[in-house]
Amino acid sequence: MSVMEMAAKTKFADLTFDQKLDRLAEVAVQVGLGLRAGQELIMSAPLEAAPLVRRITEHAYKAGALLVTTFYSDDPSVLARYEYAADASFDYAPTWLHDAIAAGFRSGAARLAIAGANPALLAKQDPARVARANVAASKAGKPAMELITRHEINWTIVACATPEWAKLVFPGEPENVAVAKLWDAIFVSSRVAVEDPVQEWREHGARLKKRMDMLNTKRFSALHFKGPGTDLTVGLADEHLWAGGGTAAGNGIYCQPNIPTEECFTTPHKDRVNGTVRASKPLSHQGTLIENIAVRFENGRIVEATATAGEDVLNRLISTDDGGRRLGEVALVPHSSPIAQSGVLFWNTLFDENAASHIALGQAYSTCIIGGEKMDAEQLAAVGANASLIHVDWMIGSGEMDVDGVTADGASEPLMRKGEWV
């Protein structure tokens, strides 16, 4: 069934576009953030997302938001920097702004990010400059990002169809058709194209939780992935904890950090990953596209990395720091997820990572370690949790992937066959 057919099966199709947008906004505030009365909201969005931002702002104030503040980004202004800025610009990031946002989070604000920037925006720019700008932004953003990765605050990400993104996803279509198609794909994938999206999310969250509880009961010591070009053993961190669906943030508020979300994920052991793995989908990273990634791991470290496009970007990325060559996340997603079934390649990790089982290079989530929130960097490293400035997910699962759970005594048990839960 195509995305269009799935949308057409429900009354959702009869709504006006504004009503559909309003549904997504409601899900973002009610389900994604679980926004509390009296809570401040800090939002970031591309300029083209203003209509969605306004809907979200309305729902936030109806939910009792203290104040909603939005930071807009603009793709052509980003490109102007690459064209005209002095070289020193690429090692600079506004630490003062990131610090202020971190202060906002610490004083109780929730965070909502709207994805929608052109995934190929920086594809033609100097990879060295792109990498430098990313490192500067990651360093400056660390205090705010840590509050997010440690789930100390309630946060979520939702998507907005924008013309440049839509043209990349649906090449050859006129702009208005491409945008409409991308919106449909976003509504279906985000599970808002149903009669009662808030109830749908409640049920979907419960299903993810059941799977997560099963994996946490099993306490596997490793996962073994086998598929075309892939024979990979991912050892799991000693005190690993599986997560999926909603999270109770440190501030006590229950949120769905990603809309959509289809994954159960945990922390690999940074020194216990061995074998070869081939990506099953292209990776869109900070404006560049990396295709046909193939890597080999030895004792947790990538020792060989190739790609048919963007290989230079890939090698710079994994060279960011020592942790950039190691895994910080492993996630299981069935091939029957609505995103995989849509057959759409979104060129956006928020969607594509929920279409397939995946691994992430770089920073591990301390919330995926038992007691991890209270551990310092040394303690986290001791149980095998990786540390890095980067966290980049890439897709390895497909309808041809088998996954086994391996127990401490070496026995293995089938978890997925041909991409589906056993």
Answer for which of 360, 390, 395, 416 binds Zn ion (CB under 5 A) is 360
Q: Which of 63, 295 has the CB closer to Zn ion?
A: 295
Query: Does 145 engage in binding with Zn ion (CB under 5 A)?
Result: no
Q: Which of 99, 152 has the CB closer to Zn ion?
A: 152
Binding part of the chain for Zn ion, among 16-24, 206-214, 349-357, 405-413 by CB under 5 A, reads: 349-357
Q: Rounded to an integer, what is the distance from CA 159 to the centroid of its chain? A: 11
> By CB under 5 A, how many residues form the interface with Zn ion?
7
Binding part of the chain for Zn ion, among 162-170, 207-215, 222-230, 324-332 by CB under 5 A, reads: 324-332
- Of 258, 265, 273, nearest to 351 by C-alpha is 258
Per-residue x/- marks for Zn ion, 238-267, CB under 5 A?
A: -------------------------x-x--
Residue 193 C-beta-side C-alpha neighbours within 13 Å: 21
Question: Contact, 3 vs 65, CB < 8 A?
Answer: no
Query: Does 352 engage in binding with Zn ion (CB under 5 A)?
Result: no
Mention every residue, 6+ apart, whose C-beta is less than 8 A from residue 69.
40, 41, 42, 43, 104
> CB of 358: closest distance to Zn ion in angstroms?
6
Strands 301-306 and 294-298: antiparallel
Mention every residue, 6+ apart, whose C-beta is less than 8 A from residue 86.
none
> CB of 359: closest distance to Zn ion in angstroms?
9
Residue 66 C-beta-side C-alpha neighbours within 13 Å: 11
Q: Which of 40, 263 has the CB closer to Zn ion?
A: 263
d(C-alpha 184, C-alpha 187), whole Å:
5
d(C-alpha 336, C-alpha 227), whole Å:
17
> CB of 85: closest distance to Zn ion in angstroms?
30
Q: Which of 208, 360 has the CB closer to Zn ion?
A: 360
Which H/E stretch holds residue 68?
A: strand 68-73
Binding part of the chain for Zn ion, among 52-60, 237-245, 347-355, 398-406 by CB under 5 A, reads: 347-355
Answer for which of 393, 403, 404, 406 binds Zn ion (CB under 5 A) is 393
Answer for which of 40, 329, 352, 404 binds Zn ion (CB under 5 A) is 329
Question: What are the tokens at 200?
Answer: 């749908």
Which H/E stretch holds residue 226?
A: strand 222-227
> CB of 255: closest distance to Zn ion in angstroms?
16
Q: Which of 170, 220 has the CB closer to Zn ion?
A: 220
> CB of 387: closest distance to Zn ion in angstroms?
15
Answer for which of 331, 344, 369, 383 binds Zn ion (CB under 5 A) is 331
Neighbours of 132 (CB within 10 A): 17
Burial class of residue 418, CB neighbours in 10 A (0-12, 13-18, 19+): exposed
Query: Does 110 engage in binding with Zn ion (CB under 5 A)?
Result: no
Question: Contact, 111 vs 32, CB < 8 A?
Answer: no
Q: Which of 184, 353 has the CB closer to Zn ion?
A: 353
- The residues that bridge with 420 in the sheet, in sequence order, are 417
> CB of 83: closest distance to Zn ion in angstroms?
32
> CB of 261: closest distance to Zn ion in angstroms?
9
Q: Which of 12, 265 has the CB closer to Zn ion?
A: 265
Give Cα separations from 225 to 87, 232, 398, 405 (angstroms): 43, 5, 11, 9
Binding part of the chain for Zn ion, among 159-167, 170-178, 329-337, 380-388 by CB under 5 A, reads: 329-337
Q: Which of 40, 353 has the CB closer to Zn ion?
A: 353
Binding part of the chain for Zn ion, among 59-67, 104-112, 146-154, 387-395 by CB under 5 A, reads: 387-395
Report the interface residues with Zn ion, using CB under 5 A: 263, 265, 329, 331, 353, 360, 393
